[in-house]
Structure formats: C-alpha cells, structure tokens
Structure 1
Amino acid sequence: MKLVSAFEHGWLTIGKEGDLTAPEADALASAESSLPRNCLEWGRNRVKFRQFCGVVQIQQILQIEILPKVFPYQTPDQQRTTLIEMLDTAGDIEGLSAQQAGLGVSNHRLLDVFIRHFLKLLEAQLQQGLLRDYRDVEDTLDQVRGRIDLIRQQRENLFKPQRLACRFNELVADIPVNRLLHSALICMSNLASSSMLRQHIQSMRIRFGGIGVIHKGEHLPRADDLNRMQRRYASVVELARLFIDGQYLDARAGQQQVYSLLLDMSQLFERFVAVKLRPTARKMGLRLMEQGPRKYLGDDDSGKGRLLMRPDISLLNALNQPVVILDTKWKLLDSGNPLASLSSADLYQLSTYASAYCCDQVMLLYPEQAGFRGEYRMALNLGRPVTLMVLAVPLYGEVFSLPAQAVKHAESEAT
C-alpha cells in the first residue's frame, strides 16, 4: 500500500512523477462522497484537503495522512505530536498525549499511533476481565432452571412432561459493547501499516473468541449506554466508535472499501481553546459557554428571527450576560503584524457581536505561529468604547490564559 503525507491546504500533485498517480486520484475522487462535505478541493492535476487533518485509506491501495499546517517548519513527527496534544486536551481521544513516549510517535504514522493507543487502553481493561452481562434465555431443559414458561410448556411440551420450557438469566460475554470492540479490532487489522501491529491486533482478537460483530445498521453502543460496572470501558468504547464510524462501503466504486478518520481543525481548535480557558473563567466568577448565547440579528415583518448569531465562546456574568466574546480562527496570518492581516469579514463579525450583545470586549484567537506570539490590541469605532484583542494561543507546552488587563476587565464586569 502506498503511504502519502500531506498538510491541510497543501496541494498534492497528480501525475506519473507526482504525489498521486492518475488511478490513485480517481480512487480518491470516487471516495469523496464518503468524506466530510467540501473536504477536498481539486485543481488542474492537483488536489488538497481543506481544514481537515487525519487519515484517508482506500482499500489496501492508498493511505493519505493529513497533518496540521500551523507550523510549516516542523517535521511530520512534530506535527503529529501537535495534533495528538490538541486531541488530548480537547478530550476527543482521552489520555493520548500522556502515552506518547510508549506509543512511539516518531516511528509510526498517525493512524498507527491511534491504533496503538486503542490497544493499550483495551489491554489495560481486559486485565481486569472481559465485560459480561445478563441475557434473557429461553430453552427447553430436562430440569428446572430459572422459572418455567407455562405458556410455552403447554404449547411445546404438552406430551413431553420430562422436557421443561425454562426462562432464565445467563451471564454472557457476547454483548453489544464487546461486539463493538471486536468490530473495531477487525477494522484496525485492515488499517495498520505495521506487520507487528497487525500481529498485536490478532492476539487481542483471540480474547474475543465466540463474540460476534456489529452488523450494518445496528446501534453502536456509546459511553452513555454503559452501566455502573462497565463505565471503566468508556474511553475505549468512544475510540472504538471513532474507528467504526470512519468505515464506508461505496457500491458505485465496485465495492471499494474506504476508511476516513478526519478531524475538522476549526472545530478542534475551538474545543481546545474552550478547555484551556474554562479554569480561568471559573476563577473570574464567569461561566464559559460554547456556541452561544444564540441570538437573532433581526426580525422580519412577521416577527420571525433572521440571521442566527452563535459566538464560538462567550464568558457570561451572574446575569448570563456576555462580558467577553471570543471567536477562534484556525488560520495562518500573512504577516507578522496580525492587525494588518485581519480579514474584513472577521472584523465585521466581531463588530456585529459587540453591538448585538452590548459587549465592550471581543477577542480573535489564532493558533500561535511563526511571527505571531503574544497579543495585539485595537479600538473599534462603534459609537462606544469597544476593545478588540488579537491573541496567539500556544498549542502545546505553555499554559494559556487571558491577558491580565482582559481578566481585570472581565472580573469588574462580573461584579
């Protein structure tokens, strides 16, 4: 299988001497309907992934790994580390960065890192025992077990008194959660690029002997479906769902098996920032809200609201009024001066938020990048004093919080 590394918004050339051959590009085009909408952008003899990172695999023909664009000077290994720490912080794949050293990030591709992490989590839980649960069983036996089903006894064994129609509970391992985990292992055995990793997966599958798989259309168990005794499997179950959700069978492509594990970096960055800022907001006596509060910009003649506004992050006071509105942007700025690089659309958006929510402090948050670290400030002319702050958010290592002046302002508004 051919392995290709790419960066989001970075072009892959198509041709005999390019990153992808024409047949490989055709296979990717056939799989496009299974990928997130507007994930790909095509050009003349080239293609790129927009704001998505992760992995796309088409059968055993092609695997494309898409890495973050923010630090172009980083090596692919460092890019993987950046993405892994963001996923861990945002809570998408719990505990991943804490096990980076054991996973060997520098020696494996991104998908193999995810698979190794899943196997490590699963193995830790299996050491405490495979999950089992009670299942209602109906059977005909020669002695009573549980209770006798009188209706079935009369219908089936009226002339066989030595046979008893029984109904009882039996503790079994073939339950939906274990079928989900077994299905995930089968999925991973077709995705792992390392032969040693595939052998590890096969050895894990032995533990699931006699357990079935999840069939198409069946409900995939979630962490919320687990009972009190099963909660320790929560992170493993959610990761198994992530792998199984990425499968896609495209009948139009000749039963072509397509797998995708793609992450929208704009959404991931927003969750990452929210997690980083939540402790700061709590200390300031404010409540952090994601994707809200929602409010219509205006009403039409019938009184129906139009143009729903939904700020990425808001800090609310005790009266549930926004005192700071933050908008996250997963973008690279064109120059070392962020204020000169801001787009008109971003400025209009923040100005609208400030006016509609009567908020006198708004912020634009970008990932920290070459030439942009720290903070910049400007005043918006909206008929009253409104401050716009442009902040760089470190993606790993450093602790991120709001600038001291912004904190002081927010605390005064909270009181």
Structure 2
Amino acid sequence: MKPESRRIIELTEYQLATFERDFIPESVGDKIYQNYGKEIDIEFPNRKTKDKWELKSKGRVGNIPITPEFHIAIRPKVPINNLFGMLEYAYNLKIKFPQGSIQCQSLQESYERLANILAQKILERCRKGLYRDYLSKTERLAYIRGRVDLRSALQKPWDVKLKCHYHEQTGDIEDNQILAWTLFMIGRSGVCGETVSSTVRKAFHALQGFVTLKPFKSSACIDRTYHRLNQDYQLLHALCRFFLDNTGPSHEKGDREMLPFLIDMANLYEQFVAEWLKANTPKGFFVKQQHRVTHDPNYFYRIDLLLCDIATSKVQYVLDTKYKAPDKIDNKDIYQIVTYAHALNCQNAILIYPQNLKQPLDIKNGDIRVRSLTFSLDSDLNEAGKTFLTSLPQKILS
C-alpha cells in the first residue's frame, strides 16, 4: 500500500470514536490492544457496540504507527496554537517567531515546525563548528603524552609502550551526542514530510563522523551547564528534550520500524502551569516544583507546585494540576491535596483544572481551605493565567 493510501484512524483525546467492523482489520485491533492498551481504550466489535469498533484515547495526543498501512492520529481538545504555546512554556523554547507565523493546523505541523527548527539550528552550529571539550583518556603509547603512570612503567620495565593519562579535545561529547540521537529518533518517527525529513537527514549526516550515536533519555537534557562557548546549546537541548520526552519505544524489531509520537497531556499541563507561574510569579513569592516529601526511607511523594513566601520561605499554597473536567471532584483528589497541605503545615490547597467545573469546590477541612480554580486552555494562555492569579486571595496580589 502506498503512503498516500495509508489509512488513518482519527481520534480526539478522551472522546469515544466508533468505526465500522471492516474499517479496522482484527490484526490491527490486536496490535492496538496489546501494544497501546495504556494509551487507548479499545473495544472489539460485539453486540454491545452494535458490531462496531470503539476507541478512546486516555489523554495522549500524537501519532501511532500500528503498521505501515495503519496509523492512529490523536488530536488534542486544546486549540493547536495553544498546544504550541504550552510546549513553548513547558520546554522553555525561547524561539522568536515572526508575528502570526505559528499558525499550525495540526499536531503534525507543530511537530514538523519544531523538528525543522532543531535541524536548521544544528546545521548552523555545524557550520560554525561544534562545541568541543577536553576528555580524559588513558592509553599505552610508544611516546610520552600527558602524565606517565610510573607504577605501571616500573612493574613492566621491558614494555616499550608507556601507560599515559592525558586530555584530548574532541567534539564527540554528550552535548553533541544528544543532538545526534534526537535527530535519529525524529528520522525514525515517520511524522515529518519529505521536505523536513530531508533537512533532518542533512543535519544528522553533518554530525556523523564526528559524533558517536548513543541512546539518551530526555533527563539528559535537564540541568546541563552552559557558558559563553555553548550557550546556544540550551535551546537545542530544550528541543531535544521535547522530542525525547514524547517519542515512545517501538514494539517491533528493526531500525526501519517507525516510532510513536505521543504527548501525555496531563504531564504537559502540569509542566506548562509550573513554567508559566515561574515566569509570572506574584511579587513576594517564589515557586517550587515537584517538591519531595519523605515520610520514611521507603515512602515519599512529590507535590506538583508550591507557592512560597520569599521573606519567610513558608509554603502559602499547595497546588495540584488535574487535566480533566469532572462533573464532581473526586474525593481521592481532595484527600490527596489535604494530605500534602497537612505535611507542609499549609492552610491553602488549590486543585487546578483546565476548564470551569459544573460544581466548583470551596470547602474547609479542619483549618485547611480546599478550592478548585481554573487555568483555562481554551483562549489566550497569558490572559487565562492572569485570570487564574486574580482568583487567588487578594494578599497574593498585593
């Protein structure tokens, strides 16, 4: 089957979609069930479903290649431009776009846009020269280089080769290896069209021969050291983190298999709200993210966000993001955030939702006030953030 005749199973996150029995072969349904059961609820045709397929995404958006002929495309509920804005904040993508230039019609276009930016900037850095650093090496040499291992030389005086410890300047360092691995993963994703794929291949080939291809996780892109000589790598690694975060492992063997690209919207919402608050922290406060509370060596938990007083460092607000819009707030969510507030001796607990709830929450649990507030994703993100801040008590804004 040619690429243009590829069959796309189109879904929207959290929305049930039905398909006729003959639209999806049973073998494809089996692969979805076996390999992507955590991402997609699937019901095979039966009497209950009126002999139709039923599929629903569990909060993931993106592209899943099931077979070369069948792909799943999952659209976000969030407007695409707002999704792009969330990604910019969540991954600190400090990219200056011309006015009105980020009008993407689909998630694939957003992915391609960022892949093209990464590839172009890597090519630009290759033209200027890759950042190089000194790495420690130990080798047996027929000549002296660096520091000679005297103990080794005395133990084997007949050996004409000396064990030497020295430093060698090279471009085959982690800073560049991360770039190569990310380009390799983008190339395998199958998401990009031919124009962008060509640029990605060109950038990858520019690194080949200078950089060893090694696998990296997205965590390798966090908390790296930047200075005058490699400052531009900060954006490159931020883009790499986005791609490595959201590119899943292939369930098939072989380098030619395409990889799924899936964004966990709950995690993205959490990262976005955290980074927006860091960039727009109310005066007199600071934000802590993923604060760890340890009860004993075997039990701990992490709290999404804390809003703390600068003068006293006291936690004023415990914040927990919930990427859902329930008719009624789950008691488990209330119990969880009350537990967090108790652990930190904080009297204000906030559950943050992307939409206004039919039954907003504002209750007292002992001396803890528990509320639900909205950080909307439906309109302008910065205006939504300001609205969220104004919904906090006045002392936060004074």
Q: TM-score normalized by structure 2?
A: 0.71
Deviation string, structure 1 residues 137-169 (Cα, Å, up to 9, x no partner) = 85868x9877889949975659xxxxx998865
From 389, 392, 395, the counterpart of 1:406: 392
Correspondence 1:1-400 to 2 at 5 A: 1=3, 2=6, 3-13=8-18, 17-18=22-23, 20-32=24-36, 38-44=38-44, 45-58=53-66, 60-70=68-78, 79-90=79-90, 92=91, 94-95=93-94, 98=97, 105-106=104-105, 108-134=108-134, 136=137, 151=153, 157=160, 170-190=168-188, 191-215=190-214, 222=221, 224=223, 228=227, 229-240=229-240, 243=243, 246=247, 248-250=249-251, 257=257, 259-278=259-278, 281-283=281-283, 285-292=284-291, 294=293, 311-317=303-309, 318-334=311-327, 341-349=328-336, 359-368=346-355, 372=356, 379-382=362-365, 386=369, 388-394=371-377, 396-399=380-383, 400=385
Measure, in 2, the Cα distance between the counterparts of 1:263 and 1:102. 23
Which residue identity lines up with residue 22 of structure 1 in the other structure? E
Which residue identity lines up with residue 26 of structure 2 in the other structure? A
Alpha-carbon offset, residue 367 of structure 1? 1.4
Alpha-carbon offset, residue 16 of structure 1? 5.1
Unaligned runs of 5+ in 1: 71-78, 159-163, 297-303, 335-340
Deviation string, structure 1 residues 335-363 (Cα, Å, up to 9, x no partner) = xxxxxx44444455556666676655433
Measure, in 2, the Cα distance between the counterparts of 1:187 and 1:378. 44
Evaluate the alpha carbon distance shift between residue 411 and residue 359 of structure 1 in structure 2; reply closer, same or farther with a 3 A threshold: farther
Evaluate the alpha carbon distance shift between residue 57 and residue 97 of structure 1 in structure 2; reply closer, same or farther with a 3 A threshold: farther
Deviation string, structure 1 residues 7-66 (Cα, Å, up to 9, x no partner) = 222335455554x44333333344338xxxx33322233332212223333564444333
Evaluate the alpha carbon distance shift between residue 383 and residue 61 of structure 1 in structure 2; reply closer, same or farther with a 3 A threshold: same
Which residue identity lines up with residue 202 of structure 1 in the other structure? R
Measure, in 1, the Cα distance between the counterparts of 2:166 and 2:68. 46
Aligned residues: 373
Which residue identity lines up with residue 88 of structure 1 in the other structure? E
Which residue identity lines up with residue 178 of structure 1 in the other structure? N
Measure, in 1, the Cα distance between the counterparts of 2:200 and 2:98. 18
Alpha-carbon offset, residue 85 of structure 1? 0.9
Alpha-carbon offset, residue 129 of structure 1? 1.9
Query: 2:373 touches 2:391 (CA, 8 Å); kept in 1?
Result: no
Measure, in 1, the Cα distance between the counterparts of 2:182 and 2:348. 47
CA RMSD, Structure 1 to Structure 2 (Å)? 4.6
Residue identity over aligned pairs, in percent, reads 21
Measure, in 2, the Cα distance between the counterparts of 1:121 and 1:326. 37
Alpha-carbon offset, residue 237 of structure 1? 3.1
Query: 1:4 touches 1:63 (CA, 8 Å); kept in 2?
Result: yes
Evaluate the alpha carbon distance shift between residue 130 and residue 81 of structure 1 in structure 2; reply closer, same or farther with a 3 A threshold: same
Query: 1:242 touches 1:261 (CA, 8 Å); kept in 2?
Result: no
Alpha-carbon offset, residue 86 of structure 1? 0.6
Query: 1:58 touches 1:256 (CA, 8 Å); kept in 2?
Result: no
Give the structure with higher Rg (CA). 1
Evaluate the alpha carbon distance shift between residue 250 and residue 381 of structure 1 in structure 2; reply closer, same or farther with a 3 A threshold: closer
Which residue identity lines up with residue 325 of structure 2 in the other structure? L
Structure 1 residue ranges, 4+ long, deviating more than 6 angstroms after superposition: 143-150, 164-168, 217-220, 253-256, 304-309, 375-378
Measure, in 1, the Cα distance between the counterparts of 2:145 and 2:343. 69
Evaluate the alpha carbon distance shift between residue 354 and residue 236 of structure 1 in structure 2; reply closer, same or farther with a 3 A threshold: closer
Larger CA deviation: 257-266 vs 241-250: 241-250
